[in-house]
Amino acid sequence: MKIVQAQKRGSNPFEFKSEPQELQNPLVLAFGNRHLIEDSQLYGEIESLFPEGHIVMGSTSGEIGGSEVSENSIVVTAIEFDRSSFLVKSKNTNNFAKDDFKLGQALMSEFPQDNLKHVFVVSEGSTVNGSALINGIEAVKQQSIGLSGGLCGDDARFEKTLASYNEPPKEGEVIAIGFYGDSLEISSANYGGWTPFGPERVVTKSNDNVLFELDGKPALDLYKSYLGEKAKELPQSALLYPLNVAVKDGEKPIVRTILNIDEANNTMILAGDVPEGSKVQLMMSTVDDIANGANKAAMLAMENRSTSPELTLLVSCVGRKLVMDQRTEEEVEEVVSIVGENSAVSGFYSYGEMAPFEDRKECKLHNQTMTLTLFSE
């Protein structure tokens, strides 16, 4: 596996982190600030650097390159595989009448599943129901095939997210990368580090990822009462107080971030499903808790591996970044301390993370987690 990384800060040219080399048929991952990747000339600039590349682009809430977290930049990672291969497919939400389950099914159906080891998803993050998207993919793919990835971000603006495959980025795009080959070892894991607090309430009215009522009362009104003065800063302030969602007794709870609010209908739009009957609590975290959570995620991803990772793809939540503030790099440094400095590290801060729970095969949508996908040949 050969890996080349480059970074562009603001309007400056790309700078290579190591000596540039010519790669054959590389997978090129370009994660960057939404305002930068909207520039119509950026795609051509990346294409000129990697003329044989299969270019996947996504907007972010922060870029990860090595142990560094940056903003207002583009981080590019180009990978040439020695003994394995990949296939990239994309769909747009506009072609599926907002039925993200069907989109996931259609996307996964385009991948031959013989010798397919793993699928990594880079999805638009503004309007997609990540839970439904994952469920659609899971309905088609074989259980033995891994699934991970993330929802694109837009800093804490929540205006729009962009993604693309071999074209300039646009809204509504969902891209999946399938990795093939007996020589591949791919593992993924996630962990949060958030703690529930306050009263537990029951979801009494919801529709997929739209939350209407808790304990028979308007959910948005209740949430605002908890936030107090911070309610004026919604939806951004919601990133600091996500919801712990317990769908069934005995099952691991899932963290859900509020992506937007609908004042007219007094509802909250979450990154994934919040089924009726679920029990929810507010959550909070500290800088140390988040850093420790990243360490735990890395240890889980490294468990039972037979080879050291050559590539580490990180998807962490924008809410974690807001809590960490000036210390954001500490959670990435925790990851590097576990996976090793010989692994190339790339990734982004997101509106939602995709990975299985520990000891589970089925992928879930998470919020407020650090998610790792480790690759080696």
Give pLDDT tens digits for 160-206: 999 999 999 999 999 999 999 999 999 999 999 899 998 999 999 99
pLDDT attached to residue 250: 67
Region label for 180, one of left (φ > 0), alpha (ψ between -120 and 50) or beta (otherwise): beta
pLDDT attached to residue 362: 86
Q: How many domains does the chain have?
A: 2
What is d(CA 109, CA 40) in angstroms, rounded to the nearest whole number?
Answer: 31
What is d(CA 92, CA 357) in angstroms, rounded to the nearest whole number?
Answer: 28
Give residues with Cβ within 8 angstroms of 12, minimum separation 6: none
Check whether 144 has a pLDDT greater than 80. yes
Q: Same domain for 210 and 174?
A: no
Check whether 48 has a pLDDT greater than 70. yes
Closest CA to 347 of 277, 288, 298, 307: 298
Q: Same domain for 229 and 134?
A: no
Backbone angles phi, psi at 22, to 5 degrees: -80, 125
260 — pLDDT class (breaks 50, 70, 90): confident
- The whole-number average pLDDT for the span 268-282 is 91
Q: Same domain for 103 and 249?
A: no
Check whether 90 has a pLDDT greater than 80. yes
Q: Same domain for 18 and 90?
A: yes
Q: Mean pLDDT in the chain? A: 93
Q: Same domain for 159 and 29?
A: yes
Q: Same domain for 200 and 213?
A: yes
Q: Same domain for 219 and 72?
A: no
Q: Summarize pLDDT for 333-363 with one digit per residue, the tens.
A: 999 999 999 999 999 999 999 998 876 778 9
Burial annotation 158-173 (CB, 10 A radius, 16+ → b, else e): bebbbbbbeebbebbb
- The whole-number average pLDDT for the span 37-49 is 94
- The whole-number average pLDDT for the span 249-264 is 84
- Structural domain range at position 89: 2-191+288-376
Residue type, 298: A
User: Beta 146-151 vs 352-356: how paired, if at all?
Assistant: antiparallel
- The whole-number average pLDDT for the span 102-108 is 98
More confident residue, 22 or 103: 103
Q: Same domain for 231 and 169?
A: no
